[in-house]
Amino acid sequence: MKKVIFPFLIFFIVLVGCSNKEEAILGPSQETIQMLSQEAQKIDVTLPDFVEGRPNMVKENYALSSKYSNVLENMPCFCGCVNQGHESNFNCFIKEKNGEDIVWDQMSLNCDICNGIARESIALYKEGNSLYQIRTYIDDKYGDYGPSTNTPMPPENM
């Protein structure tokens, strides 16, 4: 009987010890992704002329980037834009932002990686995930695509 109980006791201790760690996230829900489309249309920002004629998701991501810059500044990009001086996924949409003044970047016009990272990061943030959790998800999903921007990892409690 002791031989049977001991392995279960060890399993229980390990299970309880690991339960306090943050769980890995699997990605945003389709419902949240769709809600971002509605939110983007309500953001009061003048988009650059160069987004005209682009898919709606691209236009929406440019609008969302102006509102959720705090999220995108903590996410790397893996499209190779580090070679153009980008520091984070934020720079794929915005070169610089000073209050309401925005200097836009054209990188995300044709880049599925830039747009995917932005859309998923913002959706995961809206679902209540920490920046650290989102960053871990983005690194795992996109890390094999190409060189990353040198974006610092946010603290675990952020």
Cα distance between residue 10 and residue 140, in whole Å: 30
Distance between alpha carbon 92 and the CA centroid of its chain, in Å?
13
Query: In the structure, what pLDDT confidence band is assigned to residue 100 with cuts at 50, 70 and 90?
Result: confident
Task: Name the token pair of 21.
Answer: 């760690």
**Cα dist from 148 to 34, 39, 125, 155, whole Å:** 28, 29, 21, 19
Q: Residue 2: pLDDT above 80? A: no
**Cα dist from 120 to 14, 25, 99, 117, whole Å:** 32, 11, 25, 5
Q: Residue 56: pLDDT above 70? A: yes
Q: What percent of the chain has pLDDT over 90?
A: 79
SS3 150: coil
In this prediction, residue 119 carries a pLDDT of 98
SS3 106: coil
What pTM was estimated for this model as a whole? 0.84
Task: Name the H helices within the chain.
Answer: 2-18, 30-42, 56-67, 69-72, 112-126, 131-142
Q: Residue 19: pLDDT above 90? A: no
Query: In the structure, what pLDDT confidence band is assigned to residue 38 with cuts at 50, 70 and 90?
Result: very high
Around Cβ 33, how many Cβ atoms within 10 Å?
Answer: 16
In this prediction, residue 99 carries a pLDDT of 85
Q: Residue 18: pLDDT above 80? A: no
- Helices and strands of the chain, counted as H and E runs: 6, 2
